[in-house]
Structure 1
Amino acid sequence: MKKIITLLAITGLLTLQSCTTSGSFEIAPIATTEVFEVTTSFNSTNNFSRLVTFNPPIYSSDVVLTYRLSGSNSQGDVWELLPETYYFNNGALDFGFKFDYTNRDVRIYMIGNDLQSVSTNFRLNQVIRIVIVPASYAKSINKNSYSDVITALNIKDSQIQKIDL
């Protein structure tokens, strides 16, 4: 009996959570797998950072994976999972790519001491893919491999949403 009452209480709270005092309703986040692609350049004008906004927001329990196109080989495109870090020969940090996210956006940015000196091959026209993974799949997939993630989530190239920034 306690379990049923608890379940009903949680259901009621979740239902009422999207109500506002004006009587209108917020659009609830959508629990779907999505892949977004953005081409961006990192420079001093944008503080070596790019913000991508989710509309509508995603669930806070979802996982956001971010990959950078680093090249291609005989098997196809090579995608690197962020964070991605490059070091000088002496082991000191040269530069890298990182990201952070909320349920409303993801920010992709570069780190390093002298980012303006980083080769334009790493700064200009970078192709980034952002994969929204529902929490139910997050533990069971190999996140290090873009190919494994896309295969496990059954995403086709035609489903990738290109975002113009």
Structure 2
Amino acid sequence: MRKIISILLISLLVVACEGDIGPPGPPGLDGVNILGNVYEIEADFTSNNGYSIISEFPNTVEVFESDVVMVYLLEEQVNDPTGPVDVWAQLPQTFYLNNGDEVVYNFNHTFFDANIFLDGNAALDLLPPEFTQNQVFRIAILPAEFAEAYDVSTYNKLNQALKQENIDLNLISLN
């Protein structure tokens, strides 16, 4: 009886493994091509430029309409045992003046430039120079798939997400 059951099981396995190979399954999802680019600009906001800076994207960067553009303001540098560390704040950023007025750094963009501008209810021509002179901005251009998949609300979170995926941003020098 044992021999008959063994022979039936072996026969069943052989028959079950025979036959034509079926059609291939559906193709898998394509991987995300993540090539982010970052560059920095320094700008002065004056009445001559309407308190607005237009930064054209470098020619070496291909930007698509679906890409995500993020702009960060260099708020300060803090000391660290390894040296100074930049503190970046994502735009828009609102600052409240002692008199109750508001100043807002904001931006909009197309797929060929970013427009960074001052806004608010303050008299922009009366702002102290620390709001209008030598302002440093970091502009990050990210593929939409990456920006949708991760929290990129701060520059540190953006860097953490990139490190998690073993991706380096291409920091472009404009000099």
Relative to the length of structure 2, the TM-score reads 0.67
1:60 aligns with 2:73: no
What secondary structure does 1:116 align onto? helix
Query: Aligned to 2:119, what secondary structure does the other structure show?
Result: strand
Q: Which residue of the partner structure matches residue 155 of structure 1? A: 168
Q: Report the equivalent of 2:88.
A: 79
Q: Shift of the alpha carbon at 1:31?
A: 7.0
Show CA shifts across 1:116-156 (max 9, x none): 22221121111100000101111222222212213423336
Provide the residue aligned with 1:18 in structure 2: none
> 104, 112, 124: which is aligned to 1:96?
104
Does the 8 Å contact 1:38/1:162 carry over to 2? no
Q: Which moved more, 1:98-107 or 1:45-54?
A: 45-54
Q: Within 2, Cα distance between the matches of 1:77 and 1:31?
A: 25
Distance across 1 between alignment mates of 2:136 and 2:173: 10
The one-letter code of the counterpart of 2:75 is S
Q: SS where residue 122 of structure 1 aligns?
A: helix
Q: Give the Cα separation in 2 of the matches to 1:108 and 1:161.
A: 19
Q: Alignment partner of 1:163: what SS?
A: coil
TM-score by length of 1: 0.70
Divergent runs of 4+, >3 A = none
Contiguous gaps of at least 5 residues in structure 1:
1-29
Shift, 1:65, TM fit = 0.5
Partner letter of residue 111 of structure 1? D
Within a 5 Å distance, the mapping from 1:106-125 to structure 2 comes to 106-112=114-120, 113-125=122-134
Query: How many residues end up aligned between the 2 structures?
Result: 132
